Chains A and B, each alone.
Chain A
Amino acid sequence: MARYGWPEMGLRVNPQCTGRPLGGTGRRRAWWLAGLLGFALRAPGALLWHAPGPWLAHDNGAGADVLRGAVKPQDDTSSSTLYFKFTVDPLADVTIKSSAPFVAGVVLYERGAERLGVGNGQVAHAYSTFNASGRGLRHAPVLSLSGKGEFDLNAAYKGSKGDALEFPHRGEPRTILFRVQYVPGGDDQVTVWFQPELTPGNTEVSQLPGQITRFMANAAFDQLHLIHRGGGDGWRFSDLAIATSFDDFVAPHFWQRGWVIGAGVLLLLGVTGGAVWLVQRRRGRRHLQRLERAHALDQERTRIAQDLHDDLGVRLTEMLLLAEQGQGPADDPARPAAALQQIAAVVRETVQMADGIVWAVNPHNDTLHHLANYLVQFAENFFRLTPIRCRLDVPVQLPPVHMSSELRHHLLLAVKEACHNAARHSGATELWLRLAWDGVALSIAIEDNGGGFDAAAVAERGNGLRNLRARLASAGGRVELATAPGQGTRIRLVVPLPQG
């Protein structure tokens, strides 16, 4: 077992194990397919020989060979097991009282001599065996008629007329299956199943005992004859077959039939192929979406990184410089204290920056309502430390219109920028933060009552306004500036913000 088993397994397993990663799947798939196809081709009972017939044997003496060497002859040295099957349609009724006795059946011939016969014995007058040598494992129900080697076949099957044996009747075909286990140098062991159940799922052992007859006989053969000798109109034989397994005669489940399996394999391949194609396509699409999302996320991360660098990094560096100045030679005792004060101011600004970054990133805050609350809080805290009184014209109740982190970030920074400018340059005493949303666009205005400036000369005022415009443009919005010397300043930020 082991000697044959391992190398064989090795042969089948190795190609998969040694295959390259990519080839592995393909090869495994090929094995799988080959297995399925092999099974499909093998499935409908690999009979050694099958001849549908029909043949009519009517008083034909020794009959003639129908096998014609299709199956390897078995002699007294054989040790194999073969299964024979045939169906018979008797053309004459035979009873024990019949005036026209006959002998008929499938007879194994060896070297021109009649060996085992299965059919109807001359004396038995019922489905029986003839030329048997002795009783086998089980006794026939009716007495054997000595000398002839005739045993009635057990025929207690469902639908049988008698209890144990059956007389052949016209118009009532019967199927007989027998197994020969060849015993070298002696009589062979024969088992006969009368009217076996050959529907799907049946096996050799599932047959009812009342239909089984066992005995010994010389079943060597090199020819197969169909004979009929005696009265009546003869026997019509059909569906002759020889096999190596009982199961080969059992009708396969429909899904075991070759064409079904073939179709199944094709269908499976089609469905699998289709599914794979669909999945790949969907995966492709999803991959694309994922890439887009990843890209958006990347942009967002880039933005946050930029903010952290610009807003926090610069201020931290500033603090470091201030701290180093404070540590210098103590020629001025007030210097460390002044440096510390400056550091404190920068730190406050830095924490506020970090606060803004964290707030904008937090998806919990992604509505107009949150933006409004945050801007109010910012403006209030920011101007508390300045001489400017901050007034708020911000609706207390705002709908939860969705706003992206990016948009909130841009607006927050724009408002901060405007507030810083007002605090630094306007000289105002009062500032209004106004927010309005009309269902289409959001408008945020920062108005002060300060000195204003010449809008034409604004380019010289530094980057502030340019930054503001760039920021709003990237958010799909615009900046409106209204100012003149002595007229105060109004900066209005407008971004499209549709409902829902």
Chain B
Amino acid sequence: MLIKVAIVEDEARLRAQLAALLAGTRDFRCTGTYASAEEALRELPRQPADVVLMDINLPQMSGVECTFRLKRLLPRTQVVILTVYDDSEQIFRALEMGASGYLLKRTPAEELLKAIADVHQGGAPMSSYIARQVVQSFARRTNPAAPQLSPREEELLALVAKGYVNKEIADRLGLTLETVRSYLKIIYEKLQVRSRTEAAMKVFGSPKAD
């Protein structure tokens, strides 16, 4: 199955290298490269991709905002954040805005391709680090309208945060690998819904907001 990948990256050299990397494979095809968020938002609806590799630090609109807008235009397109440094807050914001994962730019080529394929197959890659962030995010503000984590989901997240991989978690909790994956997907969705309702709360206000 051919995976269509688009690249949003303002550095020309890196953009070309990523495109060349994809072109050298059989399973991936680069369907577009864009130097700015604005260009990507304009062109991507005409040239849809399965996965978009998104840089965070773009010249005008940031990759975080671009992710949010892109997910509204093309909900089925998966966004993977590409970043030089582990700028934790930016990455997490992007995940809240609908990104499906993140990769450091120094990630080895095979791993990068594997991660893209994983995301495309509906994987919700959750590292210990992200799991911690998710837990911290849900603990931060309690908006009654926002979805909460179920005890099972919390249990699962705690294991991810401790460094256990999906297979180990499935064994420990007596679940199938597929169930663990779907749990993680649900957690991501809740995170996004949560951040959306929080954003809405910020805009419209809420008498109960603290």
| Among A348, A352, A373, contact of B132 (Cβ-Cβ < 8 Å) | A373
> Interface residue tally of chain B, by bracket?
20 to 34
A397 CB contact (under 8 Å) in B105, B106, B139, B165: B139
B85 on interface, CB distance cutoff 8 Å: yes
Q: Which residues of A contact B133 (CB under 8 A)?
A: 373
Judge whether A266 is part of the interface by a CB distance below 8 angstroms: no
Q: Give the total of A residues in contact with B, Cβ under 8 Å.
A: 25
The reply on A197 being an interface residue by CB < 8 A is no
What's the least CB distance linking B170 to chain A, in Å?
Answer: 15
The smallest C-beta distance from A432 to any residue of chain B, in angstroms, reads: 9
Kindly state the separation between the CA atoms of A370 and B86 in the bound complex, as whole angstroms.
12
CB distance from A361 to the nearest CB of B (A): 12
CB pair B108–A376 under 8 Å, yes or no, is no
Report Cα–Cα, A344/B106, bound state, in Å: 9
Q: Which residues of A are found within 8 Å of B129, using beta-carbon distances?
A: 373, 376-377, 380
Min C-beta distance of B45 to chain A, whole Å? 34
Q: Is B148 an interface residue (CB 8 A)?
A: no
Q: Is B17 an interface residue (CB 8 A)?
A: no
With both beta carbons as reference points, the residue of chain B lying nearest to A354 in the complex is identified as B85
Q: For residue B127, which residues in chain A have a CB less than 8 angstroms away from its CB? A: 377, 380
B162/A392 in contact, CB under 8 A: yes
Q: How far is the CB of A435 from chain B (nearest CB, A)?
A: 11
Do B161 and A392 touch (CB < 8 A)? yes
* Nearest-CB residue, chain B, relative to A433: B163
Chain A nearest CB, measured from B137 CB (Å): 11
Cα distance, A170 to B125, chains bound together (Å): 116
A344 to chain B, nearest CB (A): 7
Q: List, in ascending order, chain B residues with CB within 8 A of A480's CB.
A: none
Q: A366-388 interface mask toward B, CB cutoff 8 Å, 1 = contact, 0 = none?
A: 00001011101101110000000
Report how far A344 CA is from B129 CA in the complex, Å. Answer: 25
Asked whether any CB of chain A lies closer than 8 Å to the CB of B84, the reply is yes
Bound CA span A358–B87, Å: 10
| A369, closest chain B residue (CB) | B136
The complex places the Cα of A358 from the Cα of B127 at a distance, in Å, of: 22
Q: Is B135 an interface residue (CB 8 A)?
A: yes
A298 sits at the interface (CB 8 A): no
Selected contact of A351 from candidates B106, B162, B164, CB within 8 Å: B106
Q: Which of B111-166 contact A (CB under 8 A)?
A: 127-129, 132-133, 135-136, 139, 158, 161-165
| Beta-carbon contact of B136 and A397 below 8 Å | yes
Whether B106 contacts A348 by the Cβ 8 Å rule is yes
- Chain B residues closer than 8 Å to A379, beta-carbon distance: 163
| Residue in B closest to A385 when the chains form the complex, CB atoms | B108
- Set A344, A370, A372, A391: member contacting B163, Cβ < 8 A: A391
Assess whether B104 is in contact with A381, with CB atoms less than 8 Å apart: yes
- Is A396 a contact of B86 with CB atoms below 8 Å? no
Give the residues in chain A near B86, CB-CB below 8 Å: 355, 359, 374, 377, 381
B88 contact set on A, CB distance < 8 A: 370, 373-374, 377
Query: CA separation between A347 and B163, bound complex, in Å?
Result: 26
A392 touching B139, Cβ below 8 Å: no
B64 to chain A, nearest CB (A): 16
Please name all residues of chain B whose beta carbon is closer than 8 Å to the beta carbon of A392 when the two chains form the complex.
Answer: 128, 161-163
Residue of A nearest to B164 (CB): A391
**8 Å CB interface, A309-358 against B:** 344, 347-348, 351-352, 355, 358
A372 and B132 CA atoms in complex are apart in Å by 10
Instruction: With CB as the reference atom, state the residue of chain B lying closest to A392.
Output: B163
CA distance A380 to B125 in the complex (A): 13
CB distance from B61 to the nearest CB of A (A): 22
* Contact among B106, B128, B136 with A380 in the assembled complex (CB-CB below 8 Å): B128
The reply to whether A344 and B161 form a contact with Cβ atoms under 8 Å apart is: no
Q: Which residues of B contact A352 (CB under 8 A)?
A: 106
In the complex, how many angstroms separate the beta carbon of B108 from the nearest chain A beta carbon? 7
Interface centre among A351, A391, A396, by most chain B C-beta atoms within 10 angstroms, is A396
- Asked whether A376 lies within 8 Å of B106 as measured between CB atoms, the reply is no
User: Would you call A390 an interface residue if the criterion is a C-beta within 8 Å of the partner chain's C-beta atoms?
Assistant: yes
Residues on the B chain within 8 Å of A358, using CB: 85
Instruction: Report if A390-B136 is in contact (Cβ < 8 Å); known contacts: A355-B85, A359-B86, A374-B86.
Output: no
Whether the pair A396, B84 counts as a contact (CB closer than 8 A) is: no
Q: Are A389 and B163 in contact (CB under 8 A)?
A: yes
CA distance A334 to B127 in the complex (A): 36
| Given A374-B88, A377-B88, A347-B106 contact (CB < 8 Å) | yes
**At the interface, yes or no: A393 with Cβ under 8 Å from chain B?**
yes
Q: In the complex, are the beta carbons of A393 and B128 less than 8 A apart?
A: no
| Complex CA distance for A373 and B161, rounded to whole angstroms | 10
Q: How far is the CA of A381 from the CA of B115 in the complex (A)?
A: 14
Which residues of B77-107 are within 8 A (CB) of A? 84-86, 88, 104-106
Chain A CB within 10 Å, residue with most, of B84, B106, B108, B161: B106
Residue in A closest to B139 when the chains form the complex, CB atoms? A397
CB distance from A338 to the nearest CB of B (A): 16
Q: With the chains together, A347 CA to B161 CA distance in Å?
A: 28
Query: Which residue of B is nearest A349, CB measured?
Result: B106
B41 to chain A, nearest CB (A): 29
Give the 7 A-B residue pairs with the shortest CB-CB distance, closest first.
A377-B129, A392-B163, A391-B163, A351-B106, A396-B135, A348-B106, A390-B163
Could you show 28 A-B contacts with beta carbons less than 8 Å apart? A347-B106, A351-B105, A355-B84, A358-B85, A359-B86, A370-B88, A373-B88, A373-B132, A373-B133, A374-B86, A376-B161, A377-B86, A377-B88, A377-B127, A377-B129, A379-B163, A380-B128, A381-B86, A389-B165, A391-B163, A391-B164, A392-B128, A392-B162, A392-B163, A396-B132, A396-B136, A396-B139, A397-B135
- Beyond contacts A347-B106, A348-B106, A355-B86: 13 other A-B pairs, Cβ-Cβ < 8 A, are A351-B105, A352-B106, A358-B85, A373-B132, A377-B86, A380-B127, A381-B86, A390-B128, A390-B163, A393-B162, A394-B161, A396-B132, A397-B135
